[in-house]
Structure 1
Amino acid sequence: MSHPLNDPKTLQGWALFDWANSAFALVITTAIFPPYFEEMVDEQFRVLGLEFTNSSWFAYLITFSYLVIAAFSPFLSGIADAGGRRKSFLRTFTIMGGLGCLSLFFFTGMDTLWIGSLGFIVGLIGFAGGLVFYNSFLPVIATEDRFDRLSARGFAMGYVGSVILLVVNLAMVTQPGWFGLPETGTLAVRMAFLTVGVWWLVFAAVSLSRLPNDEPRPGTGLGEMAAMGWQELRKVWNQLEEHPQAKRFLAAFFSYSAGVQTIIFLASIFAKKELNFATQELIVVVLILQIVAIGGAYLAARISELRGNKFALYVELTIWILICVLAYFVSGKVQFYLIAGAVGLVMGGIQSLSRSTYAKVIPAETNGGVRRTDTTSWFSFYDVLEKVAIVLGTFIFGFLDALTGSMRLSILILALFFLVGMLLLSRFTLTPRRVQT
């Protein structure tokens, strides 16, 4: 028996999952763990005869994680689209991510580098893998007229929840005595990792209790469902030849996404290593960045309304290039605060604008005025492409960092991703869609 649509308790439960897992994205991948990692790991070390810097090793951890995620995303999408097992897989990835996050408490230095590395990888895979099944619940619990509002509610709850926990963590790191923790040592920071893991697992459990139970489809094996994901991606790949504007936009998106995501992941460790930012200072930077990003998304939308999506993307990419160049020369904390504000301004803008532009170029067919586009397949392709871009960007960053020992040079090279994106975008034309009935 199918679950009733638009049930208030179910919808609130779905949005609550964003509240649960967004803490990992903000606290672990951006604010606290990267600078802690840089501090705990030797600046240069060898593994299996190969030379690494602490920042290149961290970049490679992200590369490996997203390589695994990109490889398995089509399988996961196929399982999600085939239906019937969303909840069990969402629970599995959530537990995996939460336990990976909790294990970071035991990462205390070079002798436990394997714990910090493995815990971060498992947490990142659990986070990104779970999103596939979380997103697939949307059409199962709500009617199409509720999609936009419900998605916005999830985003808002994720933002508010993660910021609340980050503020608590800021207090924990700066005033450990308030929490009965020692004033010196790493315990306060490691306790922050525990709070994220517990927050994620506890609130996700509440969310899962409100989502509809699995209804496995008889006669549909796991392998068959997984294969469906690859079939959907191949179908989109083959259709791209018939839709050159979508193909041109995706080429530009792939290039500049490699730069965007790499900077977002590695900005904190850059500030810690190159400018000696303290953890509490970086938390403040991330909070500013998050707030500015919201305004940046609305600003990008406004520019798009006035001058069009392509012009707005050009503005965003120009600012990203300037960020890379200025980061190479930055020498003081005040300068970095200004650069971080610029990142926040274009971080939300480039992501929201890219998604809305893509929605306008994917093919649409109508029948009696009813849109028939297979948007799930096209956005699954978009999602996988972004993950592969992260693999490329972080790998190149890590390779150059290990080769030259300079994070500044690595960030400067990232400007090429944005420049190539602009050149590819110059061949792209966004024309108003003409709907025929």
Structure 2
Amino acid sequence: MAPEVTRLTGEQRGWCLYDWANSVFKVSVLAVFFSLYLTEVVSADARTTGQHCPSALRDCAVSVLGARVQAGSVFGFLLAASTVLQVLVLPLIGAITDRTRRKRALLGAFAFGGAAATCGLAVIHGTAWRAGALLFAVALLCYYASVVVYYALLPRLADPDQRDAVSAKGWAVGYLAGGICLALNIGLVQALGVFGWSSGDAIRVCFVFCGLWWAGFTVLALRRMRDHDLSDSDGEAVAGVLRSGFRQLRQTLAQARRLPITLAFLAGYLIFIDGINTVNTTASLYGSQELGLPVEVLTLTILVVQFVAFGGGLAHGWLAARIGAQRTILLSLAVWSTVIAAAYFVQAGNRPQFYALALGIGLVVGGTPALSRSLYSQLVPTGREAAYFSLYTLGERGTSSIGPLVFSLVAEATGSYRPAILSLVGFLVLGFVVVALVPVRRGIQQAGNPEPNLV
């Protein structure tokens, strides 16, 4: 049986602290405020052309690059379009990260860039939303670039039998931080409302607060972490590092083809995480547009999910230490499929049903990706962690357009979010099947890594 980590080292606590730092973007910005506020501003833009906008989904469209797009679908299409830049950049970032010893500095650069772009979302107001959409794409790129570097550090600071627990604890504290920051943002919106501020003005202040949170806690995380390896590229000019990065990227792609089990697990992960991410980013729209729930109910529900996810993340780490990460992931995916299928039947305006749905999501939302990143770290060759995690993140971003596109297209075609949310169950079921067929222990041997007691 794999030993549980009961006490983290100072560096492991620092590593987990970056989950605490960046979760504010994932929760308050991506999952709550940005999608709702962007849709509101896009709808206001549509009304300037004389359109009647009884809902964000029907009879309310704007022009985007010459095409007419329903206001309620703009956010989904923005998520899909923002992946293009990530697909071009993330593999190179991974290769460069493996070539330089200054991983902490690289992590900080991306984190601070994302934090600055998040603060810049405050430019969205009135009917002006296009500049904010570009800044959101930049913030999203920086977020995932920092994640590539961050994930690559896990194998350097935790041995194979520790990684599931360390990763689960990091993800758990991230959700705890997300809940705390979201609670502060909700309080800020309400407090500013007392002083006569509009909800839009208050949300723009929240964007700035989120950016400062991300930057501030990143500083604390970096102070506890250290650079582990002395790379040959240390001291190289930027152009030399870039050339080396491209060369290593080509080598990694060639090597990856010789690790079919690693690629098989990656394929299963990319399938199910696309469904999970789409649920996370469209839950607010589903609740508001399809179920007719007020914003305060949606924000309170998401807030509760964060604290439930804290316990769920720790529970996933505890369970993985007893039955293995692979089995725990499969159990988690079964729960995901059941909960999302149930979402189709939630009655409009029924708050207890919506709360029950959110509780089910909270139990699994943190643990599934936490164990996926730790299990994947067992399947990648030593010294190429960042390059392989760039493929991991790139694949996630490259395929992440599929979920939002499917969701948006089904919603556009049917005029309802119910069949759109139900369509996401297919991602979870297919991912379950692929992961269940992966011989993980043989894949660890194939990558040349020491085997943990449980997989």
Gaps spanning 5+ residues in structure 2: where?
1-8, 44-55
Give the SS at the match of 1:188.
helix
Verify the 8 A CA contact 1:181 1:188 in the aligned structure 2: no
1:42-76 residue CA offsets vs partner (Å, 9 max, x unmatched): 22313244232333211122222233223311111
- Partner Cα distance (1:329, 1:254) in 2: 27
Which segment drifts farther, 326-335 or 182-191?
Answer: 182-191
User: What corresponds to 1:281 in structure 2?
Assistant: 297
- Partner Cα distance (1:271, 1:84) in 2: 46
User: What corresponds to 1:336 in structure 2?
Assistant: 354
Are residues 146 and 228 of structure 1, via their aligned partners in 2, closer, same or farther at CA, if it must alter by over 3 Å? farther
User: What corresponds to 2:4 in structure 1?
Assistant: none
- Partner Cα distance (1:306, 1:145) in 2: 15
**How high is the TM-score relative to the length of structure 2?**
0.77
User: What corresponds to 1:121 in structure 2?
Assistant: 137
- Partner Cα distance (1:382, 1:116) in 2: 28
Q: Of the candidates 253, 258, 264, which is equivalent to residue 234 of structure 1? A: 253
TM-superposed CA distance for 1:300, in Å, is 4.0
* Letter matched to residue 235 of structure 2: R
TM-superposed CA distance for 1:167, in Å, is 1.6
Which segment drifts farther, 83-92 or 189-198?
Answer: 83-92
Give the SS at the match of 1:175.
helix
1:68 matched to 2:76? no
Are residues 309 and 167 of structure 1, via their aligned partners in 2, closer, same or farther at CA, if it must alter by over 3 Å? closer
- Partner Cα distance (2:254, 2:272) in 1: 24
Q: Aligned residues: percent identity?
A: 27
1:323-348 residue CA offsets vs partner (Å, 9 max, x unmatched): 23222222222211111111111212
1:381 matched to 2:388? no
Give the SS at the match of 2:69.
strand
TM-superposed CA distance for 1:282, in Å, is 2.3
User: What corresponds to 1:402 in structure 2?
Assistant: 412
TM-superposed CA distance for 1:232, in Å, is 4.7
* Letter matched to residue 416 of structure 1: G
**How high is the TM-score relative to the length of structure 1?**
0.80
Are residues 426 and 9 of structure 1, via their aligned partners in 2, closer, same or farther at CA, if it must alter by over 3 Å? closer
* Letter matched to residue 70 of structure 2: T
How many residue pairs were aligned? 414
- Partner Cα distance (1:283, 1:226) in 2: 42
TM-superposed CA distance for 1:28, in Å, is 0.3
Verify the 8 A CA contact 2:270 2:395 in the aligned structure 1: yes
* Letter matched to residue 417 of structure 2: M
User: What corresponds to 1:352 in structure 2?
Assistant: 370
User: What corresponds to 1:267 in structure 2?
Assistant: 283
Are residues 40 and 272 of structure 1, via their aligned partners in 2, closer, same or farther at CA, if it must alter by over 3 Å? farther
Which segment drifts farther, 418-427 or 25-34?
Answer: 418-427
Are residues 376 and 114 of structure 1, via their aligned partners in 2, closer, same or farther at CA, if it must alter by over 3 Å? closer
TM-superposed CA distance for 1:389, in Å, is 2.8
Give the SS at the match of 2:196.
coil
1:334-392 residue CA offsets vs partner (Å, 9 max, x unmatched): 211111111111212322333344355x278xxxxxxx685554444333322223232
User: What corresponds to 1:52 in structure 2?
Assistant: 69
**What is the CA RMSD across the aligned residues, in angstroms?**
3.7
User: What corresponds to 1:174 in structure 2?
Assistant: 190
- Partner Cα distance (1:257, 1:426) in 2: 15
* Letter matched to residue 257 of structure 2: N
Gaps spanning 5+ residues in structure 1: where?
1-7, 365-371
Give the SS at the match of 1:276.
coil
Which segment drifts farther, 151-160 or 409-418?
Answer: 151-160
User: What corresponds to 2:36 in structure 1?
Assistant: 35
User: What corresponds to 1:97 in structure 2?
Assistant: 114
- Partner Cα distance (1:71, 1:165) in 2: 32
* Letter matched to residue 278 of structure 1: P
Are residues 168 and 225 of structure 1, via their aligned partners in 2, closer, same or farther at CA, if it must alter by over 3 Å? same
Give the SS at the match of 1:388.
helix
Q: Of the candidates 191, 199, 204, which is equivalent to residue 205 of structure 2? A: 191
Verify the 8 A CA contact 2:407 2:421 in the aligned structure 1: yes
- Partner Cα distance (2:160, 2:414) in 1: 53
- Partner Cα distance (2:216, 2:436) in 1: 48
1:259-316 residue CA offsets vs partner (Å, 9 max, x unmatched): 1111112112221222233333222212221222233334445555665555544432
* Letter matched to residue 26 of structure 1: V
TM-superposed CA distance for 1:108, in Å, is 2.1
Verify the 8 A CA contact 1:38 1:273 in the aligned structure 2: no
Verify the 8 A CA contact 1:51 1:402 in the aligned structure 2: no
User: What corresponds to 2:242 in structure 1?
Assistant: 223
- Partner Cα distance (1:88, 1:272) in 2: 41
- Partner Cα distance (2:441, 2:18) in 1: 37
User: What corresponds to 2:400 in structure 1?
Assistant: 390
